[in-house]
Amino acid sequence: MIRLVPKPDRDLQAWFTAMWDDYRKDLLDTGFNPAEALLNIEQNKKALFVNGMPNDDQRIFDVWDGETKVGDLWLATRERQSAGEWYVYNVVVDEEFRGRGLGRATMLAAEDYVKGQGGTRLALNVFGPNVVARGLYESLGYQTMAIAMRKDLT
C-alpha cells in the first residue's frame, strides 16, 4: 500500500539538489544546450520557490511502500490558472524499486490526494524520450495535450 508522507524539511535541500540535477539531465537529453537548461531551471526556481523553499502551493512527499521509502512525488495546485487543477512536477520511483508497479500506484495515490483536496484535474509534462513514463500515463487515461518538437541544425 503506497503512502504519501510530507517530506521532512531537513531532507528538502538534498532532494532539491538531486531533483534539479536530474531535471537538468532530462533537459539536455531532449536537446537543450547547457545555457538553455540553466535558464529554464532558474526560471522554475524563481516561480516555484521562495528563498529556496516551496511556496504554499507545493506539496513534496516521500513515497512509502509499507515500511520502505521507494521514491518522491512533487505536486502543486494550479488553482490560479484553472479551478480544481493540480500538477505533477516530479514523480520518481527509486531505481531499485522500478518494474514493480510502484509508479502506477504512486500516480493513483497522487490522484486520490488531489481529489481529497477538492481537486478535479491532474496534469503533468513528460519528456518525449521517456517512453516508459509516457506509456504509464497513457494507460492511466492521461491525454496528450501537445507535442513540442525541434531539430538542432548545427
Residue 151 resides in a domain = no
Please tell me the total count of domains within the chain: 1
Domain that holds residue 19: 2-139
Over the stretch 6-18, which tens digit does the pLDDT of each residue have?
Answer: 999 899 989 999 9
* 68 within domain boundaries: yes
Write the pLDDT tens digit of every residue in 35-94: 999 999 999 988 888 887 888 889 999 999 999 999 999 999 987 667 889 999 999 999
Q: Does 94 map to a domain?
A: yes
Q: 116: domain CATH number? A: 3.40.630.30
Q: Is residue 70 part of a domain?
A: yes
pTM of the model: 0.88
Cα gap 114→120, rounded to integer Å: 7
Of 73, 60, 57, the C-alpha closest to 2 is 73
Q: How far apart are CA 112 and CA 128, in angstroms?
A: 26
